[in-house]
Structure 1
Amino acid sequence: MEQKLIAIDLDGTTLNNQSQITQKTKEVLTKAVQAGHIVSIVTGRPNRISENYYDFLGLRSPMINFNGAVGHIPHQQWDKEYALTFNKDITFEIMAKKQHLGIQVIAAEGKNMALADVPNTVIDDFFPVTLKANEVLNRINLKEDPSAMTMLVKRPQMKKVVSLLEDEFGDKINVGVWGGPNPILELSPKGVDKAHGVKFLADTYQIDRKNIVAFGDEHNDAEMIDYAGWGVVMQNGTKQLKALANDITPLTNEQDGLAHYLEEYLKLA
C-alpha cells in the first residue's frame, strides 16, 4: 500500500468524551506508523493542551495547532516550522469593546504564548484558572501578534458578536464558533484552516493528495475533510460534515471508531 498521510482531529475524533486516547486507539495508530504511514495531529487546540496526546502516542511527526495557524515538531527546533498570525491591535480593539459586546473572557495565544484577560473557572483547561502577572492579557504582555484568540461569550449575544466582528475585522480574520457545549468564539488569521496545515504536511512529505486520509467530526474539520483524498467523518460528527465525507465510521469516538476504521482501511489487523 502506498504511504498515507493520516491527519487526525483530537476532540470528538481521536479522543473519547472523557478527553482520553484509549489503549486500542494508541495501538492502531502505532501500527500505522510502523507500517510506514505518517500520522499527524491536526487540531484547533493550542499546543499547550495537545502535546500530552502527541507524547502519549509516541509521535515524531509535525503537529498542526490552532486550526492550521501553527505547524511544528514538538520538543525540537525544526527549520520548516511556521506560525501564521494576525495583528495584535485587533486584540486591543476587541478588549476595549468587551463589555459592549457581552464577552466574558478573552485569550490571545501563540505557540509560546497563552494570555487571558481574567481568570476563568467556567471551563476546565480551556482558559487559565489562575493568572500570574506575566500571563495577563494586556499591552505590556502581548508583545507579539497572536495565532489565535478565543473568547467566552454570553450565549444570547453570540450571533450579534459574530456579525459585529465579521463586519469590522472580516478582511483580516476568520471568526469561528466552537462546536462544543460552551459559547466560545475563535479568531484565526484570514483564510487559514486545517486544510492549510494538511497541505503543508503533504508538501513536506511529498505525499499526493489522493493519499491523504483525514478524520474529523466538527465544522472546523470541513476544509480538511474536503481537501483530503479520503475524508472520513465520525459517526458522532455533524450532519453538515457528513455531507462532505467520502466515508463515515460505523462507530463513534466513544467506541474507538477511528481505530476500528483505520485498522480495516490500512489492513493492520
Structure 2
Amino acid sequence: MITITKKLIALDLDGTTLNNDSQISPKTAAAIHAAEQQGYIVSIVTGRPNRLSENFYDELNLTTPMINFNGNLGILPHQEWDREYQYTINKEIVTELLEKSKPLGLSLIAVEGRNMFLANRGLSTGFGFFPSTLETNQVLNRKSLKENPISITVQVEPELKAGLINFVQQQFGDEVEVSPWGGPNPIVEIATKGVHKSTGLKFLADYYGILQKDIIAFGDEGNDLTMMQYAGTGVAMKNAIDKIKDLADDVTDFTNDDDGIANYFEDHMDIAVGQ
C-alpha cells in the first residue's frame, strides 16, 4: 500500500499572495488551483479580519479552514463549524482605552470579532481596512460593546506610539500583546498574549494530520515570523523585510507584484501552472 504524504501550503495575503493593488493575479490564482490539484492543502493564514479576507477565499474557491487576526480566529468561512476557535480580549480594556483616548493620542479605536466591527469614528484614509463612515450600529461605546473582541486596532499620534505601547504593556501585559503594523501607518494592534500565526498553523496541521516538515509557509512581514519558523519550510517573498529574509529557509525570486508565489511553485515545487 502506497502512503501519500499530505503537504500544507500556508499563505499570507498582503505582500505575499496579493499584489500591490491588493488583488490576486490570474497567474497566482492558477498556481494555487494547480497546487490543490497536485494534492497540496492550501490555507490562508492572515492578519486580516475575516470580513476583509473571505472575498479572496471565495475567489480562490477554497474549502479549507482560514486563519484570521494573526492566529486568533480559525473558521470555515460562511458556515458554522464545530472546530472553530477564537481568542478574545476582555472588553474592559477597550473601555479604558476609550476613556484615556485623548491623553494616549488615540484618533481611532476599532474592535472586531468574527461577526463584529465597531469603531469610535470613521477614518477618511482607512488604508483599505476601515470604513470612512460608520453605520449607526457600528459606533463603538460602552453600551454597543456587548461581547469581548478578538482584536483591538488603534491609530495613535506617531510621537505618542511608544507611550501607548508602554501603557498597554504595563496595564494589561499579562493578558495582551501589542503589535505595531508594518509600513508607514501609525497603527497598533492589540490581541491575546501568546497567540500568533503559528497558533493557527499548528491548528491546521493538527486538523489535517500534517507533520511540521511537510508545511510550507509564505510571508513577508514581522507577523509572519512565527508561522515561518513553525513550518518545515519558511519562504520569504523577495519584497519581504530583511528580518524575515534572514530567518527564512528560502526566498522567492520574484516579488508579490511579479507573481512571486506562482513562479516559486513552478520553479521550486514542480507545480505546473496553467492559466
Normalised-by-shorter TM-score class: over 0.9
TM-score when scaled to structure 1? 0.97
Shift of 1:126: 1.4
Take 1:131 and 1:48, find their aligned partners in 2: how far apart are those partners? Answer: 15
The answer to whether residue 33 in structure 2 is matched with residue 30 in structure 1 is yes
The residue correspondences of 1:112-151 to structure 2 (distance < 5 A) are 112-151=115-154
Identify the residue that residue 17 of structure 2 maps to in structure 1: 14
Take 2:184 and 2:47, find their aligned partners in 1: how far apart are those partners? Answer: 15
TM-score when scaled to structure 2? 0.95
Residue of 182, 187, 193 corresponding to 2:190: 187
Note the alpha carbon deviations across 1:117-164, whole angstroms, 9 max, x for none.
111112243122211221111112111111101111111211221112
The answer to whether residue 224 in structure 2 is matched with residue 228 in structure 1 is no
Take 1:176 and 1:262, find their aligned partners in 2: how far apart are those partners? Answer: 31
Between 1:111-120 and 1:156-165, the stretch displaced more is: 156-165
Residue identity opposite 1:220 in structure 2: N
Identify the residue that residue 162 of structure 2 maps to in structure 1: 159
Shift of 1:77: 1.5
Identify the residue that residue 174 of structure 2 maps to in structure 1: 171
**Secondary structure of 1:232's partner?**
strand
Note the alpha carbon deviations across 1:79-136, whole angstroms, 9 max, x for none.
1011110101011111111000111100000000010011111224312221122111
The answer to whether residue 87 in structure 2 is matched with residue 101 in structure 1 is no
Whether the aligned pair in 2 keeps the contact of 1:14 and 1:258 (CA below 8 Å) is yes
**Secondary structure of 1:106's partner?**
strand
Note the alpha carbon deviations across 1:187-231, whole angstroms, 9 max, x for none.
111100000000000000000010010000000001001111000
Residue of 86, 92, 95 corresponding to 1:89: 92
Shift of 1:263: 2.4
The percent identity for this pair of structures is 52
Take 1:15 and 1:181, find their aligned partners in 2: how far apart are those partners? Answer: 19
Identify the residue that residue 66 of structure 1 maps to in structure 2: 69
**Secondary structure of 1:59's partner?**
coil
Take 1:231 and 1:175, find their aligned partners in 2: how far apart are those partners? Answer: 24
Between 1:163-172 and 1:63-72, the stretch displaced more is: 163-172
Q: What is the Cα-based RMSD across aligned positions, in Å?
A: 1.1
Whether the aligned pair in 2 keeps the contact of 1:217 and 1:237 (CA below 8 Å) is yes
Shift of 1:180: 2.6
Whether the aligned pair in 2 keeps the contact of 1:116 and 1:128 (CA below 8 Å) is no
Note the alpha carbon deviations across 1:164-188, whole angstroms, 9 max, x for none.
2111111110100100331100011
Identify the residue that residue 245 of structure 1 maps to in structure 2: 248
Residue of 203, 207, 214 corresponding to 2:206: 203
Take 1:56 and 1:170, find their aligned partners in 2: how far apart are those partners? Answer: 38
Residue identity opposite 1:67 in structure 2: N
Residue identity opposite 1:234 in structure 2: M
Structure 1 residue ranges without an equivalent (≥5): none
Identify the residue that residue 78 of structure 2 maps to in structure 1: 75
Whether the aligned pair in 2 keeps the contact of 1:215 and 1:225 (CA below 8 Å) is yes
Q: How many residues align?
A: 269
